[in-house]
Amino acid sequence: MSSATCPFTAIFLSVLVFRAAGCGRNHGCSHFHSLHPPHGLDDQRYLTILLYLSVICVGSFVISALFVDSAVDGAGIGVSYGRAASNLPPPVQVAQFLAHSTTFDCVKLFDADPATVQAFANTDLAVDVTVPNDLVANLTDLRFAHKWVRTNIVPRVDDTNIARILVGNEVISTANRSLVSSLVPAMQNLHTVLTSLSLQHRIKVASPQSLGVLSTSNPPSTGKFREGRVAEVMRPLLSFLRATGSPFMVNAYPFFGFSVDTLDYALFRPNPGVEDQNTGLVYSNMLDGQMDAVFSAMKRLGFDDVDIVISETGWPSVGDPRELGVNVDNARDYNKNLVQHVSSGTGTPLMPNRTFEAYIFSLFDENLKPGPLSQRNFGLFHPDLLPVYDIGVLTTEVAGQATAPVQTLNPTPSDSKRWCIPKPNTDVLLLQQNVEYVCGQGIDCTPIQSGGVCYFPDTVPAHAAFLMNEYYQTFGRNAFDCDFGRSGMITAIDPSPSRIKTGEIDPRGCDALSGSEPDMWLHLEYLKGTARLGGDGISGSVPDKRQPCPLSEIISGSPFYSTGGEKRPRFEARPAAATCSPKNGLRPAAAAAPRSQEECNEICFKDPVLKDHEWSYYIDRSPGHDNYSLFDIPKERVEEVRPKRPPKPTAVEPKPVLPHVEPNAAPDDLPSTSA
């Protein structure tokens, strides 16, 4: 409480000051006439009244400050309650546990599920509900916004402390242009509806973003928002937040940005600190640096007065072997130190003496989430509500308290080599959006275009793997540069060796991943020596190893090569499999190289084959042979797609009659098939 909210104290102090300075009624300071006692009161009585009122005001200030201070200690700490799991307790039980057994006083939901929101009724916990990304565009229609609020907010607003409506999650970092452009109009419509219901002061509208909205973040003073689409939406977003009194919410994860050398720095453990050479300020932890980078970016646009909330942060307790620093000790240290730091009031070097609202991700492990193992193991509590580890948020001792065993799964390779790769099983449409996004950010995409050295394998996952890593390497190898709407992951283990199942695959081709050693990334696959394809022995010459992308030789020269005295069509490793090859007793060498994928299917395959990019998953499925693939597709997926024969050409033009080829004909004796 300031003197502005306690006018009697301000007046009393002003009177004392000016009287002491001799600036009274008899000293010619007429512009202080308003300080004179009202008509009928002498100075003594006037000062006495002001003194009594000031005492009352100061007393109320002290009392309120005590309450505020006690609230600040815990009010800044919330928890993200995700429900992508098959083993979680009912929402009512969760709400009662949070309200009565923990010091959390706010919770973030990733949807507005009626039963879950209702579970927090009469608990005094502040609840943030979320509009999922797939509904954001709909909210640009004011009628839909009215309907959404009346369906999801109004029925529960009387008994549930709904504090915010969060519009999407990390929307600006997605490659969906329509979604990004819909964000601010959707937020404005929700605020308009809340205003019509007189709820605009009670319920704020915000939208969590990832650190991927920054183009630079190190040192923190250089923090800057990305140009292009990010810049186009960021200014109107911040203007809206300022006008409505809402915070800028950011998902900040030191877990995705640390290296072997900076682990203590990321975990708030004792460390030498990192100095910002521009300001001379020393940072003792990575989260402060991330927050100040966001602050610097906002300040550049003139919005340093908008509050910042940490909408997500956390550390996993279990992970895959390739994921560094993932164990129970690190997860406990990060989250426990986080709680102490953000609620201490020390703030950050650029934002001193501030207490930040922060949400720990997450309440439970979520066994249904896709991606690496760590994505399913960010939880603070087991489904039985026992802690995975203790971070000091329990108000009472929990009977049978246990923690997960420490798992040391991770090697500690040097941080000098890190790559950005797509997460396993990422939807191909999302990967295509990543390709379009990267190409729109100034990255050279000619290598993956037709005729480019990394065009093959011609699949979305292969192209995305190349471009996502190019983007990551180009923009400084920051964790958020490999976010891509949570479809990317950083690995410190060269991804190529893990893909090589046999020495029969030559790990050469395009040096696709910047930062990787030559010949280590299996961006192109082709058969070397004798391999198996549908039961037929295939052999082919291995191109000169010095050439950076030898695949072009396979598909550009003579359409035939020799195997055991027979002539067979050359195959295109597009991607990683023969797109045309004799099978199951078909006449050897189907006479000519096909001029199209459809011709290849018609000529060479009697059985159904995989189509489009799913060809890459098939080389040899006969017993006892490996399925060579860059992306290790599960056998069930192969079985699912294999029966689908590509559609026959619909063109009415008659197909050329293919000349017969003698089995032992030499390449020079082959008839021409050109028109």
- pLDDT of residue 291 exceeding 80, the answer is yes
Both 119 and 47 in one domain: the answer is no
Mention every residue, 6+ apart, whose C-beta is less than 8 A from residue 648: 598, 602
> Which pLDDT band, with edges at 50, 70 and 90, does 447 fall under?
confident
- pLDDT of residue 460 exceeding 60, the answer is yes
The answer to whether residues 623 and 637 touch, using CB atoms and an 8 Å cutoff, is no
Q: Into how many domains does the chain fold? A: 3
Between these two residues, 243 and 466, which has the higher pLDDT value? Answer: 243
Residue 392 lies in a domain: no
Q: Give the pLDDT mean for 489-515.
A: 43
What is the tens place of the pLDDT at every residue in 214-229? Answer: 999 999 999 999 998 8
Mention every residue, 6+ apart, whose C-beta is less than 8 A from residue 75: 105, 106, 357
Both tokens of 126, joined, read 């502040």
pLDDT at residue 58 in the model: 53
Mention every residue, 6+ apart, whose C-beta is less than 8 A from residue 286: 254, 257, 258, 262, 265, 266
What is the tens place of the pLDDT at every residue in 170-187? Answer: 999 988 999 999 999 999
Residue 566 lies in a domain: no
Both 303 and 159 in one domain: the answer is yes
pLDDT at residue 470 in the model: 85
pLDDT at residue 45 in the model: 65
- pLDDT of residue 46 exceeding 90, the answer is no
pLDDT at residue 475 in the model: 79
Residue 617 lies in a domain: no
Between these two residues, 481 and 319, which has the higher pLDDT value? Answer: 319
What is the tens place of the pLDDT at every residue in 610-655? Answer: 333 222 223 333 333 333 333 333 445 445 544 444 454 454 444 4
Residues present in the chain in total: 675
The enclosing domain of 91 has a CATH number of: 3.20.20.80
pLDDT at residue 509 in the model: 34
Angle at 382 between CA 377 and CA 385, to 5 degrees: 145
> Which pLDDT band, with edges at 50, 70 and 90, does 159 fall under?
very high
What is the tens place of the pLDDT at every residue in 67-94? Answer: 433 333 334 899 999 999 999 999 999 9
Residue 563 lies in a domain: no
Residue 540 lies in a domain: no
Between these two residues, 356 and 656, which has the higher pLDDT value? Answer: 356
DSSP H helix total and E strand total for the chain: 16, 19
pLDDT at residue 493 in the model: 61
pLDDT at residue 129 in the model: 98
> Which pLDDT band, with edges at 50, 70 and 90, does 423 fall under?
confident
Q: Give the pLDDT mean for 31-58.
A: 56
Both 121 and 195 in one domain: the answer is yes
Both 442 and 361 in one domain: the answer is no
pLDDT at residue 648 in the model: 46
Q: Give the pLDDT mean for 100-111.
A: 96
Residue 662 lies in a domain: no
The answer to whether residues 306 and 247 touch, using CB atoms and an 8 Å cutoff, is yes
Last residue of one domain, picked from the residues 499, 532, 561: 499
The answer to whether residues 636 and 615 touch, using CB atoms and an 8 Å cutoff, is no
pLDDT at residue 495 in the model: 59
Both 102 and 150 in one domain: the answer is yes
pLDDT at residue 397 in the model: 52
Q: Decide: helix, strand or coil at residue 34.
A: helix
pLDDT at residue 393 in the model: 95
Both tokens of 276, joined, read 């910002």
Angle at 350 between CA 294 and CA 392, to 5 degrees: 80
Between these two residues, 265 and 637, which has the higher pLDDT value? Answer: 265
- Only one residue has tokens 């300071």, namely 29
> Which pLDDT band, with edges at 50, 70 and 90, does 27 fall under?
very low
Least confident of 389-403, 443-457, 586-600: 586-600
The answer to whether residues 660 and 629 touch, using CB atoms and an 8 Å cutoff, is no
Both 43 and 95 in one domain: the answer is no
Q: Give the pLDDT mean for 100-114.
A: 95
What is the full DSSP assignment across 439-501? HTTT---GGGSTTSTT--S-SHHHHHHHHHHHHHHHTT--GGGG-TTTTEEEESS-TTGGG--
Q: Are strands 358-360 and 531-533 parallel, antiparallel or unpaired?
A: unpaired
What is the full DSSP assignment across 255-311? GGT--GGGHHHHTT-S---EE-TTT--EESSHHHHHHHHHHHHHHHTT-TTS-EEEE
What is the tens place of the pLDDT at every residue in 350-378? Answer: 999 998 999 999 999 999 988 889 999 99
What is the tens place of the pLDDT at every residue in 403-417? Answer: 444 333 333 333 456
Residue 668 lies in a domain: no
- pLDDT of residue 564 exceeding 80, the answer is no
Last residue of one domain, picked from the residues 64, 96, 116: 64
Q: Give the pLDDT mean for 520-526.
A: 27
Both 237 and 121 in one domain: the answer is yes
- pLDDT of residue 344 exceeding 70, the answer is yes
Between these two residues, 43 and 7, which has the higher pLDDT value? Answer: 43
Both tokens of 4, joined, read 């502005």
Q: Give the pLDDT mean for 42-49.
A: 63
- pLDDT of residue 562 exceeding 50, the answer is no
Max Cα separation, the chain? Answer: 126
- pLDDT of residue 309 exceeding 50, the answer is yes
Q: Give the pLDDT mean for 380-399.
A: 85
307: number of Cβ within 10 Å:
16
Both 34 and 124 in one domain: the answer is no
> Which pLDDT band, with edges at 50, 70 and 90, does 593 fall under?
very low
**Residue-averaged pLDDT of the chain:** 71
Residue 196 lies in a domain: yes
Last residue of one domain, picked from the residues 468, 499, 530: 499
Query: Is residue 312 flagged as an active site residue?
Result: yes
Which residue among the candidates 232, 275, 312, 599 is catalytic per the annotation? 312
pLDDT at residue 479 in the model: 74
Both 300 and 368 in one domain: the answer is yes
Both 357 and 424 in one domain: the answer is no
Both 306 and 363 in one domain: the answer is yes
pLDDT at residue 473 in the model: 83
Both 461 and 340 in one domain: the answer is no
Distances (CA, A) of 45 to 13, 14, 253: 16, 16, 61
Domain that holds residue 445: 419-499
Q: Are strands 358-360 and 419-422 parallel, antiparallel or unpaired?
A: unpaired
- pLDDT of residue 512 exceeding 50, the answer is no
- pLDDT of residue 666 exceeding 90, the answer is no
